[in-house]
Structure 1
Amino acid sequence: MKKLTSLFIALVMVFVLATSVQAETTTSSAATVWLNGKQVQFVDNQPFVEKGTTFVPASTVLEALGYAVAWDEENSAIIAEKYGFSIAVQVGNVVGYVNGIERTMTVAPKIENDTVYVPIRFIGEAIGYDVDWDGQTRAVLLTKEASKGYIWKVEKDGVEVHLLGSVHLGDASMYPLRDEVEAAFDNADHLVVEVNVAQVPDKQTAQEIATLQTYSDGSTLKDHVSAETYKRVQTFLTDLGLEINAYDAFKPWAVYLDMSNYVAATSGYQGGLGIDRYYLNRAQEQNKPILELESYISQVKIFDSYSKELQEQQVNEVLDGIYGGTETAGSTEPSIQVLTDLWIQGDDAGLEQLIASIQESPELYEKLLKARHAGMIEKIEGYLNNDNKDSYFIITGYLHMLGEDGLVTSLKEKGYTVTRI
């Protein structure tokens, strides 16, 4: 396939749609499409079933789902984007792209009556919808419950802020979000995030991060971890086809983060699909002011402050996840899947249990969570006491919300009215 245009390349590939449905017939015939119980209206060109696959006008379905659609004439490709989520399909090619990741369709998109048709199952399943075929009514049913998530409203003297607990890496299963969450964002005057990851660090910050990640005293990774751990790291690098000393200049916490990102990416999780990035994209679209609770540097310094023992433990935990093996003693590392499932369910009890398990590692709990809360609370109280009566939509990792030292708990203790939504 030809490389798509700069429009395609520029898209932050994050989440989108595409599809195809099996029916009993092998002849071309009409069908309807229903999205969460509401029929999608087609005007000039209708869906049809052909040899067991339901084709739909791509632009109509994508626009019904809120996507901006562009046509790449040179490559005969449709590119759709929504707040950084994207999809690209090419006429005659069974390989499509969902947030930059290849997805293979059972049948290639085609042109009928000057309209690009795409298998509906590709669209629906790419964004986590259940796709069913009702043979009696000849209808394709796309259904999905909105994720519950973790959100609270905090009020004082007519001023309100919303606290949304997030997962920084995500996948399509986390969307759509509940109407109540979307409305809270739409009505807010400001968006507040831990760090504005939509903004590239300046040169000085990038250099400081690089300095913190690496050794400057002539030592290397093998001088700071056990021989067994270092050998495991070398095996990981070898399996990826990289030089066995590729991580030598880096501290264990930096190695841990890099390997964690690899695990997330190979599992289908992306920063661009995280809740933070979703709302950062929306805020930029609406020209909504963006504020930060922390900074790139402050977060990097947290990892750099971990003890030698904790850093090596985390390296082994992520390697255990990749290769299996006995659980590392004192392991408190929750998997991305666990974090995502809790968020989708909005399970407060499950979140409390997860936080309690992290408390079993006092250093991790203190540095990753508790020590950061005082600074966060100070800023949140500042927002609640603003003279302009502005409202704020605040996003931070949901591990910060509950537990005895959580933000929600602390704000309640300070006398604010806090309501779970």
Structure 2
Amino acid sequence: MKKISTLFLSLFLFASVFSTVHAVENALSIWLNGEQIQFSKSEPIIENGVTLVSMRPILEKLAVKVNWDEATQTVSGAKEGLTYSLQIGSTNAIANGKAVKLEAAPKLIQNVTYVPLRFVAETVGYQVAWNQSLRQFTLTSKQQSDGSRGFLWKVENKGNTVYMLGSLHYVLEGMYPLRPEIENALQAAHYLGVEVDLSKVAPEELQKQVLDLGVYKDGTTLKDHISADTYNKAAALLQANGMPENSFDNFKPWFVQQNILGIIVGKEGYQSEIGIDQYLIDKANKAKKPVISLESIDSQFNTNNNYSDSLQEKLLLDTLDPASGVTLSPKGGIDYFADIWKKGDYNALHEYTNSSDWDAEYHEALLTDRNVEMAEKIKGYLNSDNKETYMVVVGMLHMLGDQGVVPLLEKKGFTVERQ
């Protein structure tokens, strides 16, 4: 079932996330493919504007084979055909067979050998980026730099910066790694913003929302609100997946659709547990960056619950039977969205979002109304006096089209740059 509803792209209702606390570190730090390198007591030093680092920790992390010649005090290294040679106290070096001049010589301090970070890393095939405000170096391997491109923008105002990433909530294992600009944006951010941070939603509150909005309380059941044909298709799918055919009888069509959608994409290998949002939330938690919500669980549930009865059944039928002829959005499926996300195809995303093939009610509720509120939240971050950096991650369909978050911010006078 490749042509399935696009609802999974913008609603993030049932994923698990973890709580986080905020920590700001002012010391110079070095990160390799998203993980901070620990130097114990041999912290990096700066000489003539060049960062020197303890040789052993950095080369071990870079998986470089090291040779040390005590007589000449020369260190050499090799990795996958890439080589270098340095001598303590000398600015003359060899990089992949060519002589180069260093701006700062390797040093021996209290029996610890210090080598120029950028020279060593770049010589053995790593990309090096420096973030002045956070005093962070980021080293990215070629594999990482060849990663999925995604949709990333940057907007600045009054000393504040917001990186905006259009996301996929369900992905395959092969979606990673991400390109360095995305990883660097998270590292630069003081806060990660997502649609809803469920770690801040108590289980009892989530259960209450389901019971209040997703369950019939008037004595009717699902059979009374959808056609017999749609109900039979839902029952058949449940039976085919080892579940009783009446499993969802007490629930409204929008809630049934969400759960059935999870079953379908799960069988195709797509997982919310490794979605772009969750991947970045996990990294933010590990880096002790606070995760903030642009929306609430209440607002997301109400978005679904406020769909008309006819739209709710159309969503369910389209998910159960893509060949049913229901038209809710332009043609496309989960594989299509995964492909354009990996390629970072901005034109395809804009054309899809701006297509005239959308059901008007669906487009307005799913995207237009929510985009306005998201843009207002981002505007607030940009107009703050705090001079902070945010990374905001929301479903990619929210970003472009005439009513997307990016054009809404541009209409408010902000300059939004594609990254």
- TM bracket (short chain): 0.5 to 0.7
Could you say what secondary structure the match of 2:166 adopts? Answer: strand
Match of 1:299 in 2: 300
Aligned pairs (5 A) from 1:343-354? 343-354=341-352
**1:273 and 2:271 matched:** no
Give the aligned partner of residue 171 of structure 1: 172
2:334 to 333, 336, 344: 336
Calculate the TM-score normalised by the size of structure 2: 0.64
**Runs (4+) of structure 1 moved beyond 6 Å?**
141-144
CA distance in 2, matches of 1:168, 1:182: 17
Cα separation, partners in 2 of 1:224 and 1:333, compared to 1, 3 Å: farther
Deviation at residue 329 of structure 1 after TM alignment: 4.2
Greater RCO (CA < 8 Å, at least 6 residues apart): 2
Report how far residue 235 of structure 1 moved.
1.2
Distance 1:358 1:284 in 2: 40
CA distance in 1, matches of 2:157, 2:329: 40
1:410 corresponds in structure 2 to 408
Map 1:153-192; keep pairs closer than 5 Å.
Answer: 153-192=154-193
1:196 and 1:261 map into 2 onto residues whose CA distance is 19
Whole-Å separation in 1 of the counterparts to 2:417 and 2:184: 16
Shift of 1:359: 5.5
Partners in 2 of 1:11 and 1:375 — Cα distance?
23
Over the matched positions of the two proteins, sequence identity in percent amounts to 39
Q: Is the 8 A contact 1:401 1:407 kept in 2?
A: yes
Residue 330 of structure 1, CA deviation: 4.6
Distance 2:213 2:230 in 1: 21
Retained in 1: the 8 A contact 2:159–2:388? no
Give the residue type in structure 2 aligned to 1:328. V
What is the DSSP-based 3-state SS (H/G/I as helix, E as strand, rest coil) of the residue aligned with 2:270? Answer: coil
Normalising by the residue count of structure 1, what TM-score does the alignment of the two structures yield?
0.64
CA displacement 1:136-193 (0-9 Å, x = unmatched): xxxxx98983111101001113221111110111122221111111111101111111
C-alpha distance in 1 between matches for 2:164 and 2:237: 39
Task: For residue 382 of structure 1, report the CA deviation from its aligned partner.
Answer: 1.0
5 Å-filtered alignment, 1:19-418, equals 40-41=63-64, 145-199=146-200, 201-321=202-322, 325-330=323-328, 332=330, 334-357=332-355, 360-418=358-416
* SS at 2:354 equivalent: helix
Q: How far apart are 1:209 and its partner, in Å?
A: 2.4
User: Residue type of the partner of 2:360?
Assistant: P
Computing the radius of gyration from Cα coordinates, the structure with the larger value is: 2
* Equivalent residue letter for 2:302: K
Aligned residue in 1 for 2:418? 420
Structure 1 11/159 Cα, relative in aligned 2: closer, same or farther at 3 Å? closer
Find the aligned partners of 2:351 and 2:296 in 1 and give their Cα distance: 28
CA contact (8 A) 2:222 2:248 kept: yes
Distance 1:192 1:416 in 2: 19
Q: CA deviation at 1:412?
A: 1.0
What is the Cα deviation at residue 40 of structure 1? 4.9
Deviation at residue 41 of structure 1 after TM alignment: 4.7
1:146–1:177 CA contact under 8 A, matched in 2? yes
**Structure 1 pair 387/147, CA: closer, same or farther in 2 (3 Å)?**
same
CA–CA separation in structure 1 for the residues paired with 2:216 and 2:331: 25
Q: Matches of 1:305 and 1:370 in 2, distance apart?
A: 15
Q: How far has the Cα of 1:328 moved from its partner?
A: 2.4
Deviation of residue 376 (structure 1)? 1.2
Q: In 2 relative to 1, CA 210–404 (structure 1 residues): closer, same or farther, beyond 3 Å?
A: same
| Contact kept? 2:144, 2:179, Cα under 8 Å | no
Change (3 A) 1:387 1:371: same
What does the per-residue CA deviation read over 1:337-381, in whole Å, with 9 as the maximum and x for residues that have no partner? Answer: 122111111111111122134752100100000011222122111
Distance in 2, Cα, partners of 1:328 & 1:247: 22
Contact 2:151 2:396 in 1 (8 A): yes
Secondary structure (helix, strand or coil) at the match of 1:272 reads coil
Moved more, 247-256 or 351-360: 351-360
Aligned mates of 2:305, 2:202 — CA distance in 1: 18
Query: Partners of 1:356 and 1:203 in 2: how far apart?
Result: 39
